[in-house]
């Protein structure tokens, strides 16, 4: 006779350090560094996650016989900053109708528009069941707190099945590079059409002629002074665009403790770091994150953020390089469009139905945009994947 299923105990935690790092990380289905306990802990302990910035940790744990069986990075959100799946118009419409949109529940990684696991339940026969239990626990807590909505952003392909039809699907486009077992950068260039190949060579030649020295460094091999400089360059990017730079110098220093998960491309003038691109890495994927420069050199952004990353991915045998959100200019440099996925639950049925209709129109636009982009593939044959 089959033993009865043990009831799962639901707990919400107001800091990630309330959950044991080993237990949390054991539930990750892959090596995505953004959902690692160390990355989320660094965000919280270094002053990047603050209630006055709209972030309150509310991490979900499901426990079985006192053991963590499933978990989800979760936040009570007082605004929609730092999410990259934009619902400002929904908030405005709901509040014009007399409702209160914030706070809402957000299942995501702060400041990181990176697809990755959001429903952490290992890789067993029970994974789908546990993922659905996480979703139901979030919906139950939303109802208990009287919140407007729940949002699960940048899901991986195996997770949407955990959400039933009452959740609204939403997609967007990012540009990713795929390794077709290239031996080196030259072979990659050979897969591109002549025009794109010529342009990349010209951009790289501009940087080579600039006199700057370019190097690739692992994060734990930088000293404190170098990390201070890298953070200062990160700030320049946000300040030049009038945006809020949420990541602190303390967070950058903690990144330096993550070993091979953190990689950098640096440009130096003499011994001074004058430009940088910061990456995170798993066993299969390189993730481009932040860029900053104190000099203006034609092609330098592309060299550090894209071409050095592609070279690193080829040398390490990585399958994919995700350089960050948005940017049609990436298409001409070998990055192809892919869909990202999110799911949204709005508590009020009539409001949910109205947003569903709007998303159906949006989905047609996204599909048409994807088709247009693929029609302009930079590769001479196939689709570059």
In this structure, the strands spanning 67-72 and 59-64 are antiparallel
Q: Where do runs of H (alpha helix) occur along 58-126?
A: 88-96
User: pLDDT class for 310, splitting at 50, 70, 90?
Assistant: very high
pLDDT of 27 higher than 70: yes
Residue spans of the domains in the chain: they are: 9-172+338-374, 180-318
Kindly tell me if the per-residue pLDDT of 383 is higher than 70. Answer: no
pLDDT for 356: 98
- % helix, strand, coil for the chain, step of 5: 40, 25, 35
Q: pLDDT tens across 57-82, in order?
A: 999 999 999 999 999 999 999 999 99
pLDDT tens digits, residue range 180-222?
999 999 999 999 999 999 999 999 999 999 999 999 999 999 9
pLDDT band at 243 (very low <50, low <70, confident <90, very high): confident
Q: pLDDT tens across 344-381, in order?
A: 999 999 999 999 999 999 999 999 999 999 999 999 87
Give per-residue pLDDT as tens, 86-144: 999 999 999 999 999 999 999 999 999 999 999 999 999 999 999 999 999 999 999 99
Instruction: Print burial letters for 134-170: b (CB count within 10 Å at least 16), e (below 16).
Output: bbebbbebbeeeebbbbbbbbbbeebeebbeeebbbb
> Does CATH number 3.40.630.30 belong to domain 9-172+338-374?
yes
CB atoms within 10 A of CB 244: 9
What's the rounded Cα separation, in Å, for the pair 25 and 41? 12
Looking at every residue in the chain, the average pLDDT score rounds to: 95
pLDDT number for residue 7: 85
Averaged pLDDT, 302-317: 98
**Quick check: 78 and 51 in contact, CB under 8 A?**
yes
Q: Tell me the C-alpha distance between 313 and 251, whole Å.
A: 25
Tell me, yes or no, if the two domains 9-172+338-374 and 180-318 fold the same way.
Answer: yes
Lowest mean pLDDT among 235-239, 269-273, 332-336: 235-239
Phi-psi label, residue 139: left if phi above 0, alpha if psi -120 to 50, beta otherwise: alpha
**CA angle, corner 234, sides to 336 and 275, nearest 5?**
80
Mean pLDDT of 159-167: 97
Which residues make beta-bridge pairs with 157?
A: none
- Judge whether 186 and 359 are in contact, CB under 8 Å: no
Output Rg (C-alpha) for the chain, integer angstroms: 22
Give the residue, 82 or 2, on which the prediction is more confident: 82
Give the integer Cα–Cα distance in Å for 260 and 202: 31
Query: pLDDT class for 1, splitting at 50, 70, 90?
Result: very low
The yes-or-no verdict on residue 295 having pLDDT over 90 is: yes
**Which tokens in the block code for residue 7?**
């009831």
When pLDDT is averaged across residues 44-68 and rounded to a whole number, the result is 97
Residue 217, token pair as written in the block: 């460094």
Provide, rounded to the nearest whole percent, the portion of the chain with pLDDT above 70. Answer: 97
CA–CA dist 73, 51 (Å, integer): 16
Closest CA to 63 of 138, 125, 114, 12: 12
Residue-level pLDDT at 323: 96
Please provide the DSSP assignment of 66-85 as one string.
TEEEEEE-EEEESS-TT-SS
pLDDT digits (tens, 9 = 90+) for 249-262: 999 999 989 989 99
The separation between the first and the last C-alpha atoms of the chain, rounded to the nearest angstrom, is 49
The highest-level CATH class for domain 180-318 is: alpha beta
pLDDT value of position 6: 66
- The pTM (predicted TM-score) of the whole model is 0.95
**Residue 245: strand pairing partners:** none
């Amino acid at each position: 006779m089959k033993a009865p299923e043990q009831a799962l105990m639901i707990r919400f935690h107001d800091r990630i350090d309330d959950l044991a790092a080993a237990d949390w990380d054991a539930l990750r289905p892959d090596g995505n560094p953004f959902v690692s306990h160390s990355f989320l802990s660094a965000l919280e302990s270094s002053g990047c996650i603050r209630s006055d910035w709209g972030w309150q940790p509310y991490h979900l744990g499901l426990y079985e016989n006192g053991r963590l069986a499933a978990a989800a990075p979760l936040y009570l959100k007082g605004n929609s900053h730092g999410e990259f799946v934009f619902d400002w118009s929904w908030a405005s419409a709901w509040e014009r109708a007399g409702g209160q949109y914030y706070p809402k529940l957000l299942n995501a990684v702060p400041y990181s528009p990176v697809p990755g696991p959001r429903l952490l339940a290992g890789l067993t026969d029970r994974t789908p069941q546990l993922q659905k239990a996480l979703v139901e626990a979030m919906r139950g807590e939303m109802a208990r707190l009287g919140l407007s909505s729940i949002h699960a952003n940048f899901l991986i392909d195996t997770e949407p099945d955990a959400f039933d039809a009452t959740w609204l699907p939403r997609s967007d486009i990012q540009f990713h590079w795929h390794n077709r077992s290239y031996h080196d950068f030259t072979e990659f260039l050979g897969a591109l059409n002549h025009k794109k190949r010529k342009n990349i060579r010209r951009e790289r030649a501009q940087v080579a002629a600039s006199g700057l020295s370019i190097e690739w460094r692992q994060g734990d091999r930088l000293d404190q002074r170098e990390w201070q400089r890298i953070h200062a360059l990160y700030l320049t990017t946000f300040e030049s665009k009038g945006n809020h730079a949420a990541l602190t110098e303390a967070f950058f220093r903690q990144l330096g403790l993550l070993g091979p998960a953190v990689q950098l491309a640096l440009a130096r003038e003499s011994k001074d770091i004058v430009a940088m691109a910061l990456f995170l890495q798993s066993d299969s994927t390189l993730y481009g994150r932040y860029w900053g420069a104190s000099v203006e050199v034609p092609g330098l952004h592309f060299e550090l953020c894209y071409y050095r990353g592609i070279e690193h991915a080829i040398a390490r045998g990585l399958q994919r390089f995700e350089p960050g959100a948005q940017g049609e200019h990436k298409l001409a440099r070998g990055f192809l469009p892919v869909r990202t996925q999110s799911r949204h639950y709005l508590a009020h049925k009539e409001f949910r139905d109205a947003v569903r209709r709007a998303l159906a129109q949006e989905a047609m636009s996204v599909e048409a945009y994807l088709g247009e982009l693929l029609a302009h593939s930079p590769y001479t044959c196939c689709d570059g994947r």
